[in-house]
Structure 1
Amino acid sequence: YFLPDCIDIITTSRCLLHVCLTLLFSIEISSQLCTMLHFQQNKVNKESLELLKKMSRIFPSQCVRERTAFKPTQEVSQLPLFQKDNAKMAMQEILQEIFNIFSKNLTQSTWDGISIVRFQNRLYQQIQQLEACLKAQMEKDLTNPESEDLQRTSWRVKQYFQGIDGFLKEKQYSLCAWEIIRVVISRCFVLTDKLNRSLSN
């Protein structure tokens, strides 16, 4: 009469073993991706910045007077995000916010459509790589994603990009507003490059 229970126990044990092995295998793959993260991000970061420049090679003359219209409370280069432990989180947050910004109303811009699509694809690729690495790191090190340091990093980045979003809304996503923000976003890639280099130190 105890045979069915034994079979159930064996089946359950095998299932648990399969789940554990699958989890360990996925963590190992993600860990390998993390090892190559610096090189991958360096390559894709340069490609993204180049595509951003290709969208509009010349700053429109009619927008020159408005060039200083966007006044953030803090320059992106001054954001205190350079703790090595938070570098991946900061990069992921910055790239996600850039992706969100460039998924908004672009109808008034005169940018090259192919470059925009490629730029969005590169951003998505970077975000996916960072998310996979962060997940593996948190599972391996038991890092709390709601820790005070990580929350502070996320808040600082979001606050900065809220200013960009507010500026675009205020200017009704005009051509000049987008051109100004394109220049601002290029500085963000300078920051992500610095963060990426900190991972190799």
Structure 2
Amino acid sequence: MAFMLSLPMALVVFSYGSGASLGFDLSQNHVHFSRKNLVLLRQMRRLSPSFCLKDRKDFGFPQEMVEGSQLQKTQAISVLHEMLQQTFLLFHTERSSAAWNSTLLDKLCSGLHQQLEDLDPCLVQVMGEQASSLGMAVKRYFERIHLFLKEKKYSDCVWEIVRVEIMKPLSSLNSLQGRLRIMDADMGSP
């Protein structure tokens, strides 16, 4: 499970891969993995969330920013990539390996990685754009989650709170991906 995502790899995929012709179009495969990842997160449940209520915390997910009607396509791609990247990094750690069923965790990380690879050609096209404040808000949200895990010593209950919390951005990703596909259709993309 040694996935390394880098700009050179993205450039190679964009230059030589079959995805180069996709532009901003998100494949059905991408959407499939998005839904599958939500199902995997639900299956990873080990404790009842009600058992962990004492550890519950509001991480301040920027829902209104992600679902805003004024979201530009380049911003949406950037936010989508940042959310996938941060979710992947969160669950692709030694600490998370100890907390979850390894088979389900591997499948989740593989699905997230596949979605990131599908987005690489799109991301390369928007690399010239400024880093959006939306992307920074998403990054700060995940920083709060990492800090929370560290402060609470990565307990099983804290991981369960985080698992439930991460379902918010992954659900928002489904909505955002649907909006991107609508934007593509409106622009006459194949």
List aligned pairs for 1:125-140, cutoff 5 A: 125-135=114-124, 137-138=125-126
Corresponding residue for 1:121?
A: 110
SS in 1 for 2:132: helix
Equivalent residue for 2:87, pick from 94, 98, 113:
98
Indicate the residue corresponding to 1:4 in structure 2: none
Query: Structure 2: which amino acid aligns with 1:106?
Result: S
- How does 1:24-173 map onto structure 2 within 5 Å? 26=15, 29-34=18-23, 36-56=25-45, 59=48, 62-66=51-55, 68=56, 70-72=57-59, 74-80=60-66, 82=68, 83-85=71-73, 86-104=75-93, 105-106=95-96, 109=99, 111-135=100-124, 137-138=125-126, 144-145=128-129, 147=130, 150-173=131-154
Distance 1:28 1:65 in 2: 48
* Structure 1 alignment gaps of length 5 or more: 1-22
What is the TM-score when the length of structure 1 is the normalising length? 0.72
Does the aligned pair in 1 maintain the 2:41–2:108 contact within 8 Å?
A: yes
Deviation at 1:54, TM superposition (A): 1.1
Distance 1:98 1:164 in 2: 10
| Contact 1:90-1:153 within 8 A present in 2 as well | yes
SS of the counterpart of 1:172? Answer: coil
State the one-letter code of the partner of 2:166.
I
CA contact 1:63–1:176 (8 Å) conserved in 2:
yes
Aligned partner letter, 2:117: Q
Equivalent residue in structure 1 for 2:167, among 186, 190, 200: 186
What CA deviation, in whole Å up to 9, does each residue of 1:162-188 have, x standing for no partner? 111111011011000100000000111
Query: Could you say which structure has the larger radius of gyration?
Result: 1
**Percent identity over the alignment?**
28
1:17-28 → structure 2 map (5 Å cutoff): 26=15
Cα RMSD after superposing both structures: 2.5
One-letter code aligned to 2:58? K
* CA–CA separation in structure 1 for the residues paired with 2:81 and 2:97: 27
Distance in 2, matches of 1:186 and 1:198, equals 19
Q: TM-score by structure 2 length? A: 0.76
Conservation of the 8 A alpha-carbon contact between 1:171 and 1:177: yes
Name the count of aligned residue pairs: 166
1:156, distance to aligned residue in structure 2 (A): 1.2
Q: Which amino acid aligns with 1:178?
A: W
